Chain A
Amino acid sequence: DTGVSQNPRHKITKRGQNVTFRCDPISEHNRLYWYRQTLGQGPEFLTYFQNEAQLEKSRLLSDRFSAERPKGSFSTLEIQRTEQGDSAMYLCASSLPVAGSTEAFFGQGTRLTVV
């Protein structure tokens, strides 16, 4: 399977715990995006990487959210001290911009439930 892979698919955690999600992009893609999607809403942009550089992180929802892409391949999204409001689907996408187009390929997401 050469698509975008996200793990785990589902995560249930207790409030206050830390969680980490992993995204493996399509191998030749240099851009990687993280989005959050809540019920009835479209994907909400969180952050993105160009290779290993995190070029935009001002839209991360709070300082409890952080992301890394240490070698420019896979990425992790960590949420510290989870709150019930963090319950959502977390989507990862990757792209290889050609002539400006950012055709993004999405993974199936990680569904987080905070209890």
Chain B
Amino acid sequence: GEDVEQSLFLSVREGDSSVINCTYTDSSSTYLYWYKQEPGAGLQLLTYIFSNMDMKQDQRLTVLLNKKDKHLSLRIADTQTGDSAIYFCAEEDAGGSYIPTFGRGTSLIVHP
């Protein structure tokens, strides 16, 4: 996913907030997604945001979108050890095919 960039690692203490950042390149992307992958498991969709929104909140998750800067972030409040996983940002290829394109993923490590 060279069109979608993420930092590779994030380490936080249990109970703190985590913020995972992503930059993307396709300004015409309609939807942007966050997926979670736990060890040995497939990808699980966590949340998504429509491009005409600035923010979306879903329980402990907050997604912020800065369309001008093509910057997407995922904030996890009250991070728990069970949140340890790899988080992938994905944009749609809006060139007509709507293919999700993924970043390399951010490995979130939550320590006590």
A binds B: yes
How close is B7's CB to chain A, nearest CB, in angstroms?
13
Q: Of all chain B residues, which has the CB nearest A42?
A: B102
What chain B residues lie within 8 Å of A48 (beta carbons)?
A: 97, 99
* Count, chain B residues at interface, CB 8 A: 25
B contacts with A: majority SS: strand
Known: A42-B104, A43-B88, A44-B1. A108 touches B99 (CB 8 A): no
**Is A106 an interface residue, CB under 8 A from the partner?**
yes
CB–CB A109/B42 < 8 A: yes
How close is A3's CB to chain B, nearest CB, in angstroms?
9
Interface residues as binary, B26-59 with A (CB distance below 8 Å gives 1, 0 otherwise): 0000110101000011111100101000000000
What chain A residues lie within 8 Å of B50 (beta carbons)?
A: 101
CB–CB B42/A91 < 8 A: yes
* Count, chain A residues at interface, CB 8 A: 25
CB–CB B31/A106 < 8 A: no
What chain A residues lie within 8 Å of B103 (beta carbons)?
A: 42
CB–CB A107/B42 < 8 A: yes
CB–CB B41/A108 < 8 A: yes
Known: A42-B103, A43-B102. A56 touches B44 (CB 8 A): no
Partner of B99, one of A45, A100, A101, A106: A45
CB–CB B42/A100 < 8 A: no
Pairs A–B under 8 Å by Cβ, sample size 27: A33-B99, A33-B100, A40-B104, A41-B105, A42-B1, A42-B4, A42-B102, A42-B103, A42-B104, A43-B43, A44-B1, A45-B99, A48-B97, A48-B99, A55-B97, A56-B99, A102-B31, A102-B92, A102-B99, A103-B48, A105-B45, A106-B42, A106-B43, A106-B44, A107-B42, A108-B41, A108-B42
- Taking Cβ atoms with an 8 Å cutoff, the residues of B that contact A are 1, 4, 30-31, 33, 35, 40-45, 48, 50, 88, 92, 97-105
